[in-house]
Chain A
């Protein structure tokens, strides 16, 4: 009997490890031989822990599983109360276009044989037969843009590093996924680490870099463990070696280190303070040398682009947002998880059709798109198509494609206050608008909460200063959640003095 039980953090947080122990104990009691493979998550978090049993017809899912449901796995599967049918046939799975996440949840994350059997290393093998310029051209042609949030064309960044002079260049993967509602980087590293390793190796070939670093946040212990193990496997199999090798580095709980220049400082062993640009990291990055800094999903999308060709990837999407995007649907949501699809679905389709609305059953009030620095979208903007320019056109951003759904009990003044408070806690302190503006922002919103409406123009002015005057996106984008809350939900900011007192 062969079963899959995810090692993914979300599955583990909901009891997957206890399930494995229960499965092994039950099997021993019955004298049945079982093989349990710890896979990544399929992304259906409301069904986690999702156990899959291999049958002649395919992999049959059971979830959300509890220890009490385990004995039933050894009986008639079709009558099991948690039976879901074939996992591949579930609507959530069938609706997706899984390019970057094609193998996540499917394979054994640490089996290189499994990885190869599912199309792994085809992209790297193709890249080895190409020139640096050809690889860069292929990635540029695919239209891939930085999935970390900034949306800068990946191929252009690579071209700068590739053509830069330097004996030693670096590929740095930004796995400091600190935005609330985002977990795609984590799921990919836990569920298919070789895809990231392959993407970085291809980047190394394209740019003439022989050394890579993955900077993973310390809040992701499972991802760190899986990536470290995967690097060892890849090294033993000579996928990594003198031509390109890499190290896993662990952050230390500073949100701002997700910003590429503070990440580089942190990697160098310094305070994670933002650097002014120029110089660009592409020219003077890690240790002052030419460095590609790319997000996990950007790098992990490269193998499929090389394997299937730029045109295949570019065919998906809308406008200047090409390819697929792994949506991370979170917060107060009925069906939360990871859903990879082409750009272009409207926000309303995502929230109402795919996510099924709120978990509480109450009406959706607002959706924050793009993490703590993203704008809150009201239901009246649900016709906005999911794309970089489309969201920018509505004074928002898609960021790393995380969506926090909030129901009508949410107080948007409190959410705006939290955005300022978070900025104050996490500011690196280098620039004044962020360091001081965030604290003044909390105070100003507290004035509003006390019914002092004269603070509204001050808050607006402060947000403008932070937006235009901050060195990086932390101070520069904190105004997005604040101003969107104020603009779209003015009633929440119109407190009467009597009520406040």
Chain B
């Protein structure tokens, strides 16, 4: 865990790197999440001050988008596509078996902090579904065998 000074310094660097951009908030939030694995509450006042926004406005943006997390995820993030093309090839059943094996529902993390399970609505792999993304890596025609990749 970073102490608050280190966090503040890192965010200052990120803010500095995004100076001069038009509409910089999303790129900044992506960079913050990349650096910390989530968007820490403590970052919000600092970002707001730098962009002359209110804290509420920054919080509103963070909470609007599915990608931004307010708490760290598990060691692995498993995203399963729930959209129609994947449903047409059995995505619901695959998701059901994976949920049962992990003992968690959508948006939850296993108690050991190993896996966070998230729905995603389309990865653009609609002709080779069911589609999944494991820690950023794409998987086509996925089934519960993907669990092996999040076993540790």
Which residue numbers of A lie inside 8 Å of B, CB to CB? 9-10, 12-14, 45-46, 48, 177-183, 186, 218-222, 247, 249-255, 266-273, 286-287, 328-333, 336-337, 359, 368, 372, 402, 404-407, 410, 415, 418, 422, 425-426, 428
Q: Using A10-B140, A252-B30, A253-B65 as known contacts, say yes or no to A331 and B23 having CB atoms under 8 A apart.
A: no
A10–B122 touching, CB < 8 Å: no
Could you write out 18 A-B pairs with CB less than 8 Å apart?
A9-B123, A13-B123, A13-B140, A14-B140, A46-B127, A177-B124, A180-B84, A218-B67, A250-B26, A252-B66, A252-B68, A254-B66, A286-B23, A328-B126, A329-B127, A331-B127, A331-B129, A332-B89
Interface of B, helix, strand, loop or mixed by DSSP = loop
Closest Cβ of chain A: how far from B42's Cβ, in Å? 20
Contact check, B61 vs A270: say whether CB atoms are below 8 A apart.
yes
**Contact at A269–B23, with CB atoms within 8 Å?**
yes
Residue contact A330 to B126, C-beta cutoff 8 Å: yes
Does residue B17 face the partner (Cβ distance < 8 Å to A)? no
Whose C-beta in chain A lies nearest to the C-beta of B120? A219
Q: B24 to chain A: which residues have CB within 8 Å?
A: 269
Q: Is A272 within 8 A of B127, CB to CB?
A: no
**Which bracket fits the contact residues of B?**
35 or more
Which of the segments B4-12, B95-103, B108-116, B131-139 contacts the partner chain? B131-139
Contact: A183 with B61, CB < 8 Å? no
Q: Do A14 and B84 touch across chains, with their CB atoms under 8 A apart?
A: no
Q: Which residue of B lies closest to A407 (CB)?
A: B88
Interface centre among B86, B127, B128, B141 (most CB of A within 10 A): B127
Query: What's the least CB distance linking B58 to chain A, in Å?
Result: 9
Interface contact A10-B65, CB-CB below 8 Å: no
Is the C-beta of B46 less than 8 angstroms from some C-beta in chain A?
A: no
Contact B64 A271 (CB under 8 A): yes
Alpha-carbon gap, A425 to B106, bound state (A): 13
Instruction: Verify B86–A271 contact, CB threshold 8 A.
Output: no
- Judge whether A13 and B138 touch: CB under 8 Å: yes
- 13 additional contacts, CB 8 Å, given A14-B128, A218-B30, A372-B121? A13-B128, A13-B138, A180-B84, A181-B84, A182-B124, A182-B126, A252-B29, A252-B67, A286-B22, A331-B88, A407-B88, A415-B87, A426-B121
